[in-house]
Chains A and B, each alone.
Chain A
């Protein structure tokens, strides 16, 4: 009984994706009519400059935002799990984790109004651009990274850090030489999480982007709104393939590391 229900759940997850992949090879102009196998939509996608440039904007934003978010998020996670009490700690904790639960439309509109106000008062940032999207994405990305890092540090043997301190190492040295290498896998997965969230975001980017800084989700959204365009199927298939390959590679690396750890006892 439970097993049948579970299989139904997996089917719900995968049937739409399978249909998307199959129809990305449809020769017909009409999405609902099967016209034989073809790769024309991939060719069309490849020539669509709007999609290509939006994809490049998205990649650039995601790389910068994930990197800034990971640096700050790692530091925040470290502060939350190691620094004990300090003044305004409650406020700090709330601000650091609240972006996770904030509705995207609220984050989007509040950052937009901030940027407009800052421009009025200080003349910076000038208009909405890639820069404003990066700031917005870095801010919510760091909240997710901080949670990942804090969880990793919670299960971390502190005696190594204390041993280093007893041997005369100073705080920055302990962090860079001991803590960071040990939590490196969590830092990497935090970066990947922030990167994916940035690539996926439509709502916040729509509020804080300006002329010439349309991200890929914004372009896809307008295509979907305007009607059916089969090249979105091709794009979806490419994204699924890239994610699948990336995940499989990650799994492979992890299981190999696991095997090595077992061998070395």
Chain B
């Protein structure tokens, strides 16, 4: 390009912003995670102390060792992956038929159904979680209905359980799963289904051998869109989960806001990053997503 300086400026400004507000913060978190807890303001001993212009190394990996020794953190990392994974599968099971129905609908109906999926996506997730909590609470509609029908004579405890966490994740992230599924199903060539039928495939056979494999890119994209934010979820386990919820986002939050232990909170954050971002980068470089983006 001719205007070399202009080009450098156009790249340089956003580059500088991202360096300052995205990359450097992680370097700082990493340095704090190597420090140790101390009473004071800020409440930690830095890993590197300056004596004049001479840096003196005081840091250690003690916080990381601590994370491996306390089963609480192990349980939280594994629990997050397990809950997010389970909820993603459930979400896929609910979303696939919806996406299929939208893709098969025509004209006005298709627009209307798409609108119905996008509307919750644009409203506040916190308010939607609150709406679901209203149904699940002991005096809520579900319990009233169950007791009215005589199925149970006492309210069933649904909030503060793992069941509520799964249900709420599915409910909140459902649009994120439906939309990518819809966009692959929409492109699906109807002639392929007719061909399968002509060759004698029954409904379920066509589904397993033709429709489902062809919607794979949408399935992968949707699962990533749900799984990745669900692993780090704080709001849902905190509001509807059990008291000692086994999710790492909640643990990090408590470590920072309740215990005020910055170095341990930082170490939790760094491990979370490594666990989550590395697989994502690998997946993004794999061929599966190439077609999508």
Instruction: Give A residues with C-beta under 8 Å from B.
Output: 2-3, 5-10, 12-17, 19-20, 23, 30-33, 72, 75-76, 79, 83, 86, 88, 92, 94-96, 98-99, 101-106, 109-111, 113-114, 116-117, 135-136, 139, 142, 151, 170-172, 196, 199-200, 202-203, 207, 217, 220-221, 224-225, 228, 232-233, 235-236, 239-240, 243-244, 246-248, 251, 255
- Nearest-Cβ distance from residue B189 to partner chain A, whole angstroms: 19
B11 adjacent to A113 (CB under 8 Å): no
Q: Which of A13, A139, A224 contacts B130 (CB 8 A)?
A: A224
Given A139-B17, A251-B115, does the pair A12, B24 have CB atoms closer than 8 Å? no
Mask: chain B, 198-240; 1 = CB below 8 Å from A; 0 = not: 0000000000000000000000000000001101101100010
- Nearest-Cβ distance from residue B224 to partner chain A, whole angstroms: 8
Instruction: Name A175's closest neighbour in chain B (CB-CB).
Output: B10
Interface assignment of B19: CB less than 8 Å from any CB of chain A: yes
B123 adjacent to A240 (CB under 8 Å): yes
In the complex, the 9 A-B pairs of residues with the closest C-beta atoms, listed nearest first: A103-B232, A32-B139, A110-B25, A6-B101, A5-B97, A20-B131, A6-B97, A114-B25, A16-B131
A19 adjacent to B131 (CB under 8 Å): yes
How far, in angstroms, from A117 to B32 measured CA to CA in the complex? 11
Interface assignment of B67: CB less than 8 Å from any CB of chain A: no
Q: Which of B6, B95, B116, B139 contacts A172 (CB 8 A)?
A: B6
How far, in angstroms, from A243 to B265 measured CA to CA in the complex? 37
B277 adjacent to A247 (CB under 8 Å): no
Which residues of chain B from 41 to 81 have a CB within 8 Å of any chain A CB?
Answer: 42
Interfacial chain A residues near B131, Cβ < 8 Å: 16-17, 19-20, 236
A9 adjacent to B97 (CB under 8 Å): yes
22 A-B pairs with CB atoms under 8 Å apart are A9-B97, A10-B116, A12-B171, A13-B171, A15-B135, A16-B135, A95-B19, A98-B22, A99-B22, A103-B228, A103-B229, A106-B269, A109-B29, A109-B256, A113-B28, A135-B21, A136-B21, A172-B3, A172-B6, A202-B126, A236-B130, A255-B111
Given A31-B134, A109-B256, A171-B2, does the pair A139, B122 have CB atoms closer than 8 Å? no
A232 adjacent to B130 (CB under 8 Å): yes
| Count, A-B residue pairs, CB within 8 A | 222
Instruction: Give B residues with C-beta under 8 Å from A.
Output: 1-3, 6-7, 10-11, 13-15, 17-26, 28-29, 32, 42, 94-95, 97-98, 100-101, 111, 113, 115-120, 122-135, 137, 139-141, 144, 170-171, 174-175, 178, 228-229, 231-232, 234-235, 239, 249, 252-253, 256, 262, 265-266, 269, 272-273, 276-277, 280-281, 293
Interface centre among B95, B124, B229 (most CB of A within 10 A): B124
Instruction: Name A151's closest neighbour in chain B (CB-CB).
Output: B293
A200 adjacent to B125 (CB under 8 Å): yes
How far, in angstroms, from A16 to B23 measured CA to CA in the complex? 40
How far, in angstroms, from A176 to B92 measured CA to CA in the complex? 42
B174 adjacent to A9 (CB under 8 Å): yes
Interfacial chain B residues near A16, Cβ < 8 Å: 128, 131-132, 134-135, 171
- Nearest-Cβ distance from residue B248 to partner chain A, whole angstroms: 8
Interfacial chain A residues near B113, Cβ < 8 Å: 10
B280 adjacent to A116 (CB under 8 Å): no
How far, in angstroms, from A196 to B118 measured CA to CA in the complex? 12
Instruction: Name B26's closest neighbour in chain A (CB-CB).
Output: A110
